[in-house]
DNA sequence: CTGCACCTTCCCATCATAGGAAGGTCAAGG
DNA sequence: CCTTGACCTTCCTATGATGGGAAGGTGCAG
């Protein structure tokens, strides 16, 4: 099987298959007489494993570990679980960060009339920390202050 | 004010201030006799604006627009709101993607006993689409299938 | 023999940010 | 006067995962 077919079969682009080989995530493929990479069913399976792990947001170093554990029949599921939970914790952190941004922006957008006038609480909020509390939502204001003065998160 | 002080005052690193100047996000700073960049209060304010916008996840092109609108006294708040809502929609999309991953992983981790045995539903799920439904949660299974076979999202 | 589809390697770009090297400037203190 | 140290300058490199594209080789069908 050439790389194009392996790509179609595994769902990983040919470009990425070569990349994974280059960084040592998968072993170098066999080569045909014409120096074309040749793949078998188990290679495709491995690539599909990587694709699924990527789809779940695992990083390459994590996938490296998962692949090692996959082929290790003496593995402990505890180790797999540890990697997974660490990754979930990271996802939860990122979600919380994005959620905080989105909430702040939702709030500012709600307060912005969005017509032809120049007056805009969104701009005002970016202008400086001199935020005018909306009666509507005091708790929201505090989260806004935190978010707006925080370091970039993404 | 030299770049170091402007950095401290605005919360934007000196490195990033130079970068923002290089990409034309802020105007080139005045130079001292020694070719040092010199900043005033309004420059610092502009940089702080950028920092706050970054903290809210706006991209550089979006911030470019926001800066333009900020200095445009004939702006319409509608345009600011439009940019903001577009950004919020993007954030919501990313949150949903991460949420789906995290949910799937939470579920798999819950099903993994995490002891010394090799048997592990997390690995099994990455191995292939032959997923064994858990009685515990059928809806969760479907979302798992979708997530695991989806293209990488992050 | 000529297309055409595929493969190869190599370089570049993304996006925001950081690290570091090599060298210039300036003020304080011996 | 000279050194030291804290600044500053520009330029190069890296991140992480992915895609785009160029230049050229391979192989099969018409």
Whole-number Å distance between alpha carbons of A62 and A53: 9
Whole-number Å distance between alpha carbons of A49 and A55: 10
Give the pLDDT confidence of B46-76 residue by residue, as tens digits: 999 999 999 999 999 999 999 999 999 899 8
Residue B131: give the domain boundaries.
Answer: 77-144
Whether A83 and A49 share a structural domain: no
Residue of chain A whose Cα is closest to the Cα of B68: A123
Whole-number Å distance between alpha carbons of B116 and A76: 4
Give the pLDDT confidence of A23-63 residue by residue, as tens digits: 999 999 999 999 999 999 999 999 999 999 999 999 999 99
Hey, is A38 helix, strand or coil? strand
Closest CA to B141 of B114, B120, B110: B110
User: Is residue B23 one of the residues assigned to a domain?
Assistant: yes
User: Is residue A113 one of the residues assigned to a domain?
Assistant: yes
Whether A82 and A140 share a structural domain: yes
Whether A83 and A136 share a structural domain: yes
Looking at the DSSP assignment, which residues form a beta bridge with residue A38?
Answer: A30
Whether B90 and B137 share a structural domain: yes
User: Is residue B68 one of the residues assigned to a domain?
Assistant: no
User: Is residue A153 one of the residues assigned to a domain?
Assistant: no
Q: Which residue has the tokens 């793949």?
A: A39
Whether B93 and B133 share a structural domain: yes
pLDDT at position B134 is 41
User: Is residue A65 one of the residues assigned to a domain?
Assistant: no
For residue B8, the domain's CATH number is 1.10.1660.10
User: Is residue B131 one of the residues assigned to a domain?
Assistant: yes
User: Is residue A72 one of the residues assigned to a domain?
Assistant: no
Whether A87 and A45 share a structural domain: no
Asked whether residue A138 carries a pLDDT value surpassing 50, the answer given is no
Distance from CA of B38 to the nearest CA of A (A): 21
- Bridge-based pairing state of the strands A30-31 and A37-38: antiparallel
Whether B92 and B127 share a structural domain: yes
Whether A139 and A88 share a structural domain: yes
**Tally of structural domains, chain B:** 2
Whether A46 and A102 share a structural domain: no
pLDDT at position A116 is 80
Counted across chains A and B, CB pairs separated by less than 8 A come out at 192
Whole-number Å distance between alpha carbons of A86 and B57: 24
User: CB–CB of A76/B117 below 8 Å?
Assistant: yes
The partner residue sitting opposite A102, judged by closest CB among B95, B113, B119, is: B95
Torsional sign, CA A12, B151, A98, A123: positive
The partner residue sitting opposite A77, judged by closest CB among B54, B105, B119, is: B119
Give yes or no for B130 touching A (CB within 8 A). no
User: Is residue A10 one of the residues assigned to a domain?
Assistant: yes
- Contact partners, residue A96, CB within 8 Å, separation at least 6: none
Which residues of chain A neighbour B144 with C-beta distances below 8 Å? none
Hey, is A125 helix, strand or coil? helix
Whether B35 and B94 share a structural domain: no
Longest Cα–Cα distance of chain B, Å, equals 75
State the first-to-last Cα distance of chain B, in angstroms, to the nearest integer: 40
Q: Do A149 and B106 touch (CB under 8 A)?
A: no
Whether B137 and B95 share a structural domain: yes
Interface test with A, best of B19, B51, B57 (most A CBs within 10 A): B57
Single pTM value for the model: 0.82
Q: How far is the CA of A52 from the C1' of D18 (A)?
A: 16
Q: Do B78 and A147 touch (CB under 8 A)?
A: no
Q: Which of A15-24, A54-63, B134-143 has the lowest mean pLDDT?
A: B134-143
Which residues of chain A neighbour B80 with C-beta distances below 8 Å? 112, 114, 120, 122-123
Q: Do A88 and B76 touch (CB under 8 A)?
A: no
- Contact partners, residue A62, CB within 8 Å, separation at least 6: A53, A83, A86, A87
Whether A93 and A131 share a structural domain: yes
């Amino acid at each position: 099987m050439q790389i194009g077919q392996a790509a179609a079969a595994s769902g990983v682009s040919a470009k990425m298959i070569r990349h994974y080989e280059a960084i040592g995530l998968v072993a170098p493929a066999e080569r045909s007489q014409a120096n074309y990479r040749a793949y078998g069913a188990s290679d495709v399976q491995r690539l599909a494993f990587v694709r699924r792990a990527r789809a779940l947001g695992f990083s390459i170093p994590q996938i490296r570990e998962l692949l090692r554990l996959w082929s290790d029949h003496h593995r402990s599921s505890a180790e797999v679980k540890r990697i997974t939970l660490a990754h979930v914790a990271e996802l939860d952190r990122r979600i919380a960060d994005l959620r905080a941004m989105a909430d702040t922006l939702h709030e500012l957008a709600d307060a912005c009339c969005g017509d032809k006038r120049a007056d805009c609480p969104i701009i005002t909020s970016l202008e400086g920390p001199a935020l005018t509390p909306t009666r509507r939502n005091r708790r929201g204001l505090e989260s806004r202050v935190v978010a707006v003065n925080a370091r970039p998160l993404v």
